[in-house]
Amino acid sequence: MSAARVGAGRGGRDLRILSWNLWELRGDLHALIEAVEDLDPDLLLVQEAPRFVLPTTRLAWFARRIGRRVLVGGLGGRGLAILATEDVAAQVIRRGMHPVAQSVTDLNSTYPRGVAAVRLSVPGGGEVVVSSLHFALQEDNRRRHAEHVAALVRGAGVPVIVGGDLNETADGAARRLLDPLMRDPAAQSEHTFPAAGPVRRIDAILAGEGVQVRDARAVRSTARVGEERLSGASDHLPTLLDVSL
């Protein structure tokens, strides 16, 4: 966590969370790394992390390049990962991967799905659960995944933040199922896909009860990475959430 967000004035209760479909690191890696460094998240929620060729090694390499630690992900990570600063990693209570069964109807439904999650202690008291997920292309599989997420949120007993590539907009069936439990605080005009000319908001970070949102938006550019370069880093734009707990 950066010094600006753990100072005495903020009580160590603020988090910056970035969620991003990394396209299995197939895009402009320099733009990807520079953008993450510019945005300086405490937690990076990853979808489409490397899966096929040395997934653990490649994810660890990326984490080192951005100065973060892998909390969840790598071999068996179902394309999901959670990376964090050393300060946040020191607050981990539990971490793990929840597999989510999917109906296999075509080649697009063979991608393994799950929920990567970490439970963190909050400086000064309390806990929070932060998770990364990637919904399927098929509506029935997305709804099944959302039901799994809803059960996790109800059973957490603490505030929950979920970020990911949801593969549907706010009016989709899976999103409507999660609406009573979690909200997308960003404007729906904050489009994320496709990165080269975004027209849909299918990526979001959802905040549950007990989370005070200070900023929520899709990232179109950063200090060193303009719009054109950022669109070459992945086929999705990243989503940013600043919260207080």
pLDDT digits (tens, 9 = 90+) for 151-162: 999 999 999 999
pLDDT digits (tens, 9 = 90+) for 96-125: 999 999 888 777 667 889 999 999 999 888
Cβ-contact 192, 163 below 8 angstroms:
no
Residue 108 CB contacts under 8 Å (≥ 6 apart), including other chains:
136, 137, 138
Indicate whether 52 pLDDT > 90. no
The domain of 175 spans: 3-244
The model's pTM is: 0.94
How far is Cα 72 from Cα 48, in angstroms, rounded to an integer?
A: 13
How many CB atoms are located within 10 Å of the residue 101 CB?
Answer: 12
Q: Count H helices, E strands: the chain?
A: 6, 11
pLDDT digits (tens, 9 = 90+) for 176-220: 999 999 999 999 999 999 999 999 999 999 999 999 999 999 999
Quote the number of domains for the chain. Answer: 1
How far is Cα 221 from Cα 176, in angstroms, rounded to an integer?
A: 30
Domain of 184: which CATH number?
A: 3.60.10.10
Tokens linked to 7: 């100072």
